Amino acid sequence: MSTTQTNKIEILKSATSKINEVDFGNLSFGSVFTDHLFECDFKNGEWQKPVIKPYAPFLLDPSSRVFHYGQAIFEGMKAYKDANDDVWLFRPDENYNRFNKSALRMAMPEVPEEIFMNGLNQLLQLDEAWIKKGKGNAMYIRPFMIATGTGVIANPSHDYKFMIILSPVTSYYSGDVKVLIAEHFSRAANGGIGAAKAAGNYAAQFYPTNLANQAGFQQVIWTDDATHTKLEEAGTMNVFFRINDTLFTAPVSERILDGVTRKTLIELAKSENIAVEIRPVLVSELVEAAKNGSLKEIFGAGTAAVVSPISGFSYQDVYYDLPKIEKSVAIQLKDKLTNIQNKLEEDTFGWTVKI
Ligand code: COI
């Protein structure tokens, strides 16, 4: 781990607030940001003095390595405000640890826990008025790191910028989510960076996802790059399949992100006596289950997406509509999860952390 200067955070408050300009009842996901951001630079092999300052654009040298070689990683987390106006994070240690795993894979420096967690807590405290109460409201937290070192030589940068920005949000998807199962394109390959939350993993999905959007689908479910026979993840979320009364989800791997919501739902399902099998799920099994009526539900799980039911899927130009069901496991798990996150139900797992 890199050396740390355990300096106090310098706080530069904005003279004015944009909060009154925001229509909180009509938010488009991730498009509005609070008054401040957290920033800490890595230079000369050390983390520098952290600062919280007004949210604003900043200058970068055109030869910064992030633009040329894509050294960029991020996390997605949420904070919730309960009925007593206390603010809670959900499993922040999971995001912190995954961030540093991504950093290691992308040859970037690890961010010390003190910088990450203190920065996050103090930023949330300062912009606390932007966190709205009530189920469905949350503050989406986007920690990220980019390579700021200059020069177009293809080596890892020496300098980096770590930042946290905050965006008040409601739901990520609105309306029906129909998915296309990938037959040709891949999200990740063994030995690659699929398990890292690297910006490039998302860029690589945009072109095939655009094609899917044009064909009327909101998302792609990626299949394994070697055989395109195994169902992997949807890119903005991990996926679960319910066949009869058992939930199936792919194991995390070098290609599949170790989703915090995914692992939480697995634990919640077990606690609710819902059978869960973590094993590769074949496209052929899914098609067969859709044909014989044993496929009951498909849903995505992610911080942004929470639990997003999928209404149907297409594979090899055949569309399979899922049955409308009365007792949805997706909804049962979503209720349990969001009750815990919003402190409407006791958190017996110890996942919620007060700031
Ligand atoms: C999240 O769920 O937080 C993510 O990072 C997915 C992102 C593409 C919105």
Q: Over 70: is that where the pLDDT of 43 sits?
A: yes
In the reported structure, the alpha carbon of residue 216 is separated from the centroid of ligand 1 by a whole-number distance in angstroms of: 21
Q: What is the ipTM of this complex?
A: 0.90
Question: Is the alpha carbon torsion for 330, 332, 336, 341 positive or negative?
Answer: positive
Tokens 């910006």 -> residue: 199
Are residue 163 and residue 215 in the same domain, yes or no?
A: no
Residue 216: inside a domain, yes or no? yes
Q: What is the pLDDT of residues 284-308, one digit of tens each?
A: 999 999 999 999 999 999 999 999 9
Q: Which domain holds residue 38?
A: 3-169
Q: Over 70: is that where the pLDDT of 49 sits?
A: yes
How many angstroms from the chain centroid is the CA of residue 4? Answer: 27
The answer, yes or no, to whether any atom of ligand 1 lies below 6 A from the CB of 209, is no
How many angstroms from the chain centroid is the CA of residue 37? Answer: 19
In the reported structure, the alpha carbon of residue 189 is separated from the centroid of ligand 1 by a whole-number distance in angstroms of: 20
In the reported structure, the alpha carbon of residue 187 is separated from the centroid of ligand 1 by a whole-number distance in angstroms of: 15
Q: What is the pLDDT of residue 174?
A: 78
Q: What is the pTM of this model?
A: 0.95
Query: What CATH number did the domain enclosing 54 receive?
Result: 3.30.470.10
Query: What CATH number did the domain enclosing 263 receive?
Result: 3.20.10.10
Q: Of 127, 152, 169, which residue is a domain's last?
A: 169
Are residue 156 and residue 302 in the same domain, yes or no?
A: no
| Ligand 1 atom nearest to 30, measured from its CA | 9
How many angstroms from the chain centroid is the CA of residue 149? Answer: 26
In terms of C-beta density within 10 A (0-12 exposed, 13-18 middle, 19 or more buried), how is residue 239 classed? buried
Q: What is the pLDDT of residue 7?
A: 66
Q: Over 50: is that where the pLDDT of 3 sits?
A: no
Return the residue whose CA atom lies nearest to atom 9 of ligand 1. Answer: 304
What does the longest C-alpha to C-alpha distance in the chain come to?
63
Residue 220: inside a domain, yes or no? yes
